[in-house]
Amino acid sequence: MSKLVLIDGAKGHTGTFLVKEILESKPTWKIIATDLPDEKRPELMSKEVVFSPRFKNMISVLENERVTFIPADLTDQDSLRTPLMLGKYDIIFHTASLYDYFADLEVLRNINVKGMQNLLDIIHETQDLDKLRFIHWSTCGVYGEPKYKKDLRGYPLPSGETEAYGPPNNYSISKMEQELLLKKYIETKKLQATIIRPAPILGPYQAYGMFHVFQLINKSGVGPGIHV
């Protein structure tokens, strides 16, 4: 069955591979892809330039005939109207955010939280919420360090989705606030939504996160210790 889907953050690490996966596994789906205009990327996504000289290789999937790329900025509500007025979407994949553990909290809130508010407001204005599925990329970092229960031998048991929030850094705080905002929309606007909380992601062309650990080891032969 043919579907119309929107993927924001489509030039990022997760977004790029999501576009690629849909192109390969869903041959009848049409993709509208959005991300920051090229002139804004170096300003906000500077680590792509510093850490990944192969960044341009990531975005070749956006040149596929089944993909229409439209620049948009979460902090600019008017720019979001252009892709969202192209039709009624079956699925919106919200992967876009500022992924930076060292950014100021207000900067993260402006992009990740207020930006998501802008997106949800335009979705409410332009889409049929009873027919739309909204899939949001959060982070396992919203848990922080859970209070693990233990089995009879004293080994910690996995935590569940109902574990209390305990974000340890500004980035995770902004992702927690995103979740709380989305849950309010689910309750008040009856938006059908799914929240995904991935662990750190590692893969080809990655420009941040776990990539830094391996780059440090490659350059200096020394890396941080990992306690399990």
Interval 104-136: pLDDT, tens: 999 999 999 999 999 999 999 999 999 999 999
Domain hosting 148: range is: 4-220
The reply to whether 225 falls in a domain is: no
Residue 202 has what pLDDT?
Answer: 76
The reply to whether 30 falls in a domain is: yes
The reply to whether 164 falls in a domain is: yes
Alpha carbons 110 and 98: distance in angstroms, whole number = 10
In 1-132 the beta strands, taken as DSSP E runs, fall at 4-8, 30-35, 67-71, 91-94
List of residues 6+ apart from 16 with CB closer than 8 A: 10, 58, 59, 61, 62, 205
Alpha carbons 19 and 58: distance in angstroms, whole number = 11
The reply to whether 211 falls in a domain is: yes
Residue 48 has what pLDDT?
Answer: 46
Q: The tokens of 212 are what?
A: 């830094």
Residue 160 has what pLDDT?
Answer: 83
Query: What are the φ and ψ backbone dihedral angles of 83, each rounded to 5 degrees?
Result: -70, -30
Residue 206 has what pLDDT?
Answer: 64
The reply to whether 227 falls in a domain is: no
Do 30 and 4 contact (CB within 8 A), yes or no?
yes
Confidence of residue 178 (pLDDT cuts 50, 70, 90): very high
Q: Is the pLDDT of residue 56 over 60?
A: no
Residue 207 has what pLDDT?
Answer: 61
Count of the separate structural domains present in the chain: 1
Alpha carbons 57 and 185: distance in angstroms, whole number = 36
* Better-scored residue on pLDDT, 56 or 174: 174
Give me the chain's average pLDDT, please: 86
Range in 5-14, 45-54, 97-106, 163-172 the model is least confident about: 45-54
The stretch 171-196 carries a mean pLDDT of 97
Residue 101 has what pLDDT?
Answer: 87
The reply to whether 54 falls in a domain is: yes
The reply to whether 228 falls in a domain is: no
Query: In CATH, what number is assigned to the domain containing residue 169?
Result: 3.40.50.720
Cβ atoms < 10 Å from Cβ of 76: 14
**Amino acid, res. 85:** M
The reply to whether 138 falls in a domain is: yes
Alpha carbons 58 and 219: distance in angstroms, whole number = 23
| Of 53, 141, 153, nearest in space to 100 by CA | 141
Alpha carbons 81 and 73: distance in angstroms, whole number = 10
Range in 13-17, 152-156, 190-194, 218-222 the model is least confident about: 218-222
The stretch 179-201 carries a mean pLDDT of 95
Alpha carbons 80 and 72: distance in angstroms, whole number = 6
